[in-house]
Amino acid sequence: MEPIAPITGMNDVLPERAPAWQHVERVAREVFAAYGYQEIRVPILEQTGLFKRAIGEFTDIVEKEMFSFEDRGGDGLTLRPEATAGIARAAISNGLVHNQRHRWYTLGPMFRGERPQKGRYRQFHQIDAEAYGFEGPDVDAELILLSARLWKRLGIEGLKLEINSLGTPEARRAYRATLVEYFSAHADALDADSTRRLGGNPLRILDSKNPALAALIAGAPRLTDHLDAESRVHFEGLCARLDDAGVAYTVNPRLVRGLDYYTRTVFEWITTAWGAQNAVCSGGRYDGLVAQLGGEHTPAVGWALGIERLVILMEEQGRTVSAEPPHVFFVMVGAAAERLALRLAEQVRDAWPDLRLETGLGGGSFKSQFRRADKSGAALALVLGDGEVERGVVALKPLRLGGEQEEVALADLPARIGSRLGLG
Ligand code: ATP
Ligand code: MG
């Protein structure tokens, strides 16, 4: 029979890679805790209308990347392409926006029908941070400092921070008009995507990844010249706090971000090591989003990072993470030994909850089980054959430990293992 193929752009994280993922997730949870961010978990499926309203009709995501379908009842559902919309929806659904402040994070899979390539997949995973109810640039700065601490804790080097301000929706509308004027005057030079965006969302032309447009985009009017006074003060406040903290950044007036909901602050941590997939972590402020989704006006700001891109970067920088080897490998040969060994193994695990003990299940000679024991990386082998069963002992054979082999009475086994391994 033909094997069933995996879905394009959706990857298996195999056990050899899983420790790196676990490490990233564990460190992220610790860093979030250090700043008072709490975990929130929201569904992977939402109504399609949520993303259309939150992300915007004229974005790549909504126009061509969403995995949308009708369920059996005829409702339009979509696999979430990002986490912010669902979290804003959850804040409203649970009555958590009125006069409240929250610092939240979430981890999980996102889905976008993009062309798969290095660092770009159809199911990918994000770590997402959100702060609700905070007006000022101090929380924008905190979120950036939090991400910088994450890079430090993970040992990731060379990420560059770019920041920009998109101003208020009104300021953006004025800027939009000047952009339409500029790009219309150069309509011949635009590609098909950009021509389409010129009508719907001309700011997105600035976000184009087509190198043929780079010069045209570089010559476009700058949003920073159209900022409203309050947004300017907000942006200067953010810059001052980043300066205080010694976080280096570049102001990139072309940074607009691919989603419509942003206002004021936007930022990206980028790597210079790759091509188009250069954004490792992206975020910004979206003060209008909650109201746009039918909730009470609530300022909000957040970021999301791609775990795949982070893990690739760590590997490229030699930061590999391997699984912890077992402390103990139990070699057991013969029917009676196997039964007794399973029981003893449970007693040892009862005594040492953090101990990693692997058994030589599946049988095989002493020689082949010792080979497996060696390969496992265990420090200590326990050996049980017919002779040991008869004498009522287990042999302890150091593999990656000093000291001699010894025989231990069954009742003394947990304590003896503890002292040989220096546990407890
Ligand atoms: P890009 O410009 O690379 O398409 P984006 O602006 O669409 O990124 P966001 O929507 O802001 O990205 O998502 C935040 C982060 O999620 C990105 O910085 C990136 O690390 C990661 N990411 C986004 N899309 C993908 C994808 N298709 N595959 C893997 N990671 C992704
Ligand atoms: Mg994208």
CB burial class (10 A; 0-12, 13-18, 19+) of residue 396? Answer: buried
| Owner of token pair 């790009």 | 183
Q: Kindly state if the Cβ of 171 falls inside 6 Å of ligand 1.
A: no
Contact 176, 167 (CB under 8 A): no
Which pLDDT does position 258 carry in this prediction? 66
204 lines ligand 1 (CB under 6 A): no
Q: Ligand 1: which atom is nearest the Cα of residue 310?
A: 20
Distance 210 CA to ligand 2 centre (A): 13
| Count of CB atoms situated within 10 Å of the CB of 230 | 12
Alpha carbons 362 and 342: distance in angstroms, whole number: 12
Q: Nearest 5°: CA angle at 168, between 112 and 164?
A: 65
pLDDT at 30: 98
277 pocket-lining for ligand 1 (C-beta < 6 Å): yes
Residue 122 and residue 308 in contact, taking contact as beta carbons nearer than 8 Å: no
Buried b (16+ CB within 10 A) or exposed e, 261-270: bbbbbbbbbb
- CA 365 to ligand 2 center in whole angstroms: 54
Give dist(CA 145, CA 32) in Å, integer.
11
Say how many Å lie between the CA of residue 62 and the centre of ligand 2.
11
The H or E element that residue 371 is part of is helix 366-376
Q: What residues of the chain score a pLDDT lower than 50?
A: none
Task: Give the three-class secondary structure for 405.
Answer: coil
**279 Cβ inside 6 Å of ligand 1:** yes
C-alpha pair distances (Å), 140 with each of 170, 237, 286, 307:
21, 10, 11, 21
Rounded distance, CA 402 to CA 423, Å?
15
> How many whole angstroms separate alpha carbon 25 and alpha carbon 63?
31
Q: Tell whether ligand 1 has an atom less than 6 A from the beta carbon of residue 358.
A: no
Paired with 407 in beta bridges are 395
pLDDT score recorded for residue 197: 85
Please tell me the residue having the least CA distance from ligand 1 atom 9: 282
118 neighbors 54 (Cβ within 8 angstroms): no
Report all structural domains of the chain as residue ranges with CATH numbers, in order of start. 18-167+227-316 (3.30.930.10), 328-421 (3.40.50.800)
Q: What is the pLDDT of residue 261?
A: 81
Q: How far apart are the CA of 114 and the centre of ligand 2, in A?
A: 8
Return d(Cα 375, Cα 73) in angstroms, integer: 53
Full-model pTM: 0.93
Q: Is the CB of 397 under 6 A from ligand 1?
A: no
pLDDT at residue 384, rounded to an integer:
98
At residue 293, the pLDDT reads: 96
Residue with CA nearest ligand 1 atom 25: 120
Whether 56 is in the pocket of ligand 1, judged by its Cβ within 6 Å, is no
